[in-house]
Amino acid sequence: MTNSRLFTFGCSFTRYHYPTWADIISKNFFEFQNWGKAGAGNNFILNSLNECDLRNNIDTDDTVIIMWSGLSRIDYYQINDWSHLHNQYFDLKSTKYPYSCPQGYEMLSYAWIASAIHVLSQIGCKWKMFQFIQPETDSDAFDLYNPLLRNIVHAPFAENPQPYALSSRSRMQVNDLFHRLRGKDWPGLESILDGSFKSLPLNDFIKNECKEFLTAIKKDRRMSSGMFNELDRHPSPNIHLKWVEKNLSEYPIDEKTRQWVNHIDDCLLSKKDYAFNANSPTRF
C-alpha cells in the first residue's frame, strides 16, 4: 500500500452498489475517495474534480483517475443533489428544451475534458484518463481537440454474459419516497410497482394516488430504474477485476481482494445480500 491518496471520477462504471475498478485498485492506497455517481455525465465529472481539489488540495503525491462518461448526458443540480439525463438530443420539431446535436455534445464534452487535463497538469499529480465509449473521429470537434484527447485511453468493458436482477439496494430511494408519501390505506409498494394494485378493492381516490406515484417515479430520472423488473447489464465485479488486470496492471491485486470481488459477484447472481458500502466523500 502506498502512503498516498486516490481520487476517482466517473459514472456508474466508477461508483456503483458493488465494487468497480476504482474500489478494486483502492486497496493499494492509504486514502480513497470515489467521486463517481451513477448516471453522471462529463460536466458533472469536471465539476466533481474541481470541488474535490478545493476540498482536499490535491498535490503531487496523489493519484487521480477519471473514467469519462457518455457525451450526450446532461447534468444539473437541483434540490440539494445532482441529477442527470441520458441521450437527450435537440428535436427540430420541438423547441421546449435546448438540447444539443451530436457535434454540440462533442464540443461540450471535449472542452470539459480539456479543462480537466489543464487542471491536473497544473497540479502535477499522477493521473490517468479512460473512456469506455469509442469516440467519433470524423468530426471537426475531434480534430480540434485531438492533441488533448490522445491522453485518454479507450478501454471498453466486456459485455456482461450473465445479467442479474437489479439489487434491492437500488430501491432505497423509492422505498424512502413511498414511506414518506403513502396514505394509511395505500397498498404495499410491490403491488404498486408491478401494477397489481389496479385489481385490489381500493376506492378510486387511492387508485389514482397510486397511479400518480408510479408515473412520477418512472419519469423521475433520479430514481433508479431497478424497480421495474429489469436486468442489470452493467459490468459485473468480475468484469471490473479483469478490466483492472488489463488496463491498470501497475496496481497489484492480492488474493483477499480477488476473493472479495468473487464473493460479491456470486451474491449478485444468486440474489443474496452482500456487504459493500460505496465510498461517499463530502460534497455538495
3-state secondary structure the chain: CEEEEEEEECCCCCCCCCCCHHHHHHHHEEEEEECCCCCCCHHHHHHHHHHHHHHHCCCCCCEEEEEECCCCEEEEEECCEEEEEECCCCCCCCCCCCCCCHHHHHHHHHHHHHHHHHHHHHHCCEEEEEECCCCCCCCHHHHHHHHHHCCEEECCCCCCCCCEECCHHHHHHHHHHHHHHCCCCCCCHHHHHCCHHHHCCCCHHHHHHHHHHHHHHHHCCCCCHHHCCCEECCCCHHHHHHHHHHHCCCCCCCHHHHHHHHHHHHHHHHCCCCCCCCCCCCCC
Do 175 and 252 lie in one domain? The reply is: no
Q: State how many domains the chain has.
A: 2
Report yes or no on 282 lying in a domain: no
Tell me the Ramachandran region of residue 34: left when phi exceeds 0, alpha when psi lies from -120 to 50, beta otherwise: beta
Asked whether residue 61 falls in the same domain as residue 181, the answer is: no
Query: Mean pLDDT throughout 85-107?
Result: 79
- Identify the pLDDT of residue 77: 92
15 within a domain of the structure (yes/no): yes
- How buried is residue 102: exposed, middle or buried, by Cβ count under 10 Å (0-12/13-18/19+)? middle
pLDDT at 172: 47
Evaluate whether 21 touches 261 at the Cβ level (below 8 Å): no
Domain-embedded: residue 281: no
User: Given this model, what pLDDT does residue 213 score?
Assistant: 84
Q: Which of 100-109, 151-160, 165-174 has the lowest mean pLDDT?
A: 165-174
Average pLDDT over residues 214-234: 64
Same domain membership, residue 113 and residue 18: yes
Residues 14, 146 within the same domain: yes
Q: Tell me: do 255 and 207 sit in the same domain.
A: no
User: 226 pLDDT exceeds 60?
Assistant: no
Residue 208 domain-assigned (yes or no): yes
Mean pLDDT over the full length of the chain: 88
Which domain does 218 fall in, by range? 168-227
- What's the CATH code of the domain at 64? 3.40.50
Q: Which residue has the higher pLDDT, 153 or 271?
A: 153
Among 28-42, 130-144, 166-180, 187-201, the range scoring the smallest mean pLDDT is 166-180
Residue 164 reports pLDDT greater than 90 = no
Rounded to whole angstroms, what are the CA distances from 143 to 100, 165, 194, 203? Answer: 19, 41, 49, 62
In a shared domain, residues 214 and 247: no
Same domain, 74 and 12: yes
What is the per-residue pLDDT for 166?
Answer: 65
Answer whether residue 244 shows pLDDT above 80: yes
Domain match, 110 and 183 both: no
Residues 248-278 pLDDT 10s: 999 999 999 999 999 999 999 888 889 999 9
Q: Residue 275: inside a domain, yes or no? A: no
Q: Based on the domain organization, do 247 and 264 belong to the same domain?
A: yes
Residue 280 lies in a domain: no
145 lies in the same domain as 191: no
**What whole-number percentage of the chain has pLDDT above 90?**
61
- 223 and 243 inside one domain: no
pLDDT bin (cut points 50, 70, 90) of residue 229 is: low
Query: Does residue 247 form part of some domain?
Result: yes
279 in a structural domain: no
- Do 82 and 30 have their domain in common? yes
pLDDT of 225 reads 47
Whether the predicted pLDDT of 169 surpasses 70: no
Question: Residues 99-128: what's their mean pLDDT?
Answer: 95
